[in-house]
Amino acid sequence: AQRVTQPEKLLSVFKGAPVELKCNYSYSGSPELFWYVQYSRQRLQLLLRHISRESIKGFTADLNKGETSFHLKKPFAQEEDSAMYYCALSAGGTSYGKLTFGQGTILTVHP
Amino acid sequence: DVKVTQSSRYLVKRTGEKVFLECVQDMDHENMFWYRQDPGLGLRLIYFSYDVKMKEKGDIPEGYSVSREKKERFSLILESASTNQTSMYLCASSPRTASSYNEQFFGPGTRLTVL
């Protein structure tokens, strides 16, 4: 069975500082990793997926299979980045796109 | 604009009541999911459905059942609500393709309180 761990429940940074939200996973196969975000009073939405190797709102995430990690990074945090962030894993294949989510990290960016 | 709607934003029920949570999507998606969201526990999958009348248990199905009679509608049923089912419930949908990279689209959530 797969598992996703986000070790930080809360993360606080100041505006302009770098931010890294940690995500570690355990899965015996080849995983597909995602980051989802939930801003205040908004619904949960996809931020980025590793397969696309994209940068969204200045965030990037690199899949490190050796360390089984998929940390989310941004060089200069903005106040509007304050939100709940979830790392998620899909087992692929015939999993019907089921996702296993981590516990979530609440990011607060102070002015 | 893709849309997943849930029947209630807030719901208060009493212990032992039968509770129905409804979810409707207008994107013609095959896959639909029910999660509960609890602080410190993240999102946990209760049930999912990959086609009409098809359903599979997720990680925490105990105390819940589901119904999918039409493609666009996926209902979560609490047969006899208990206080430990007080939670935020999120519905999501995604298309079924050969890829598992598909984005899941979420509803706004239903905050259920069981007294």
B58 contacts A101? CB cut-off 8 A: no
User: Poorest-confidence range of A36-40, A46-50, B86-90?
Assistant: A46-50
From chain B, pick out residues whose CB is under 8 angstroms from the CB of A90. Answer: 100-101
Sign of the C-alpha dihedral, residues A84, A87, A92, A98? Answer: negative
Give the tens place of pLDDT for each residue, A39-81: 999 999 999 988 777 778 999 998 898 999 999 999 999 999 9
Mean pLDDT for chain B overall: 93
The H-assigned helical ranges of chain A are: none
Most B-contacting residue of A43, A100, A103 (CB-CB within 10 A), to test interface = A43
> Mean per-residue pLDDT for B53-73?
95
Instruction: pLDDT band for A95, please (50, 70, 90 cuts).
Output: low
From chain A, pick out residues whose CB is under 8 angstroms from the CB of B94. Answer: 97
What contacts A32, CB < 8 A, 6 or more positions away?
Answer: A49, A50, A51, A89, A90, A91, A92, B100, B101
Residue whose C-alpha is closest to residue A97's, from A44, A53, A49 = A49
Token reading at A111: 């002015």
Min Cα–Cα distance to chain B from A12, Å: 17
Give the tens place of pLDDT for each residue, B20-56: 999 999 999 999 999 999 998 999 999 999 999 999 9
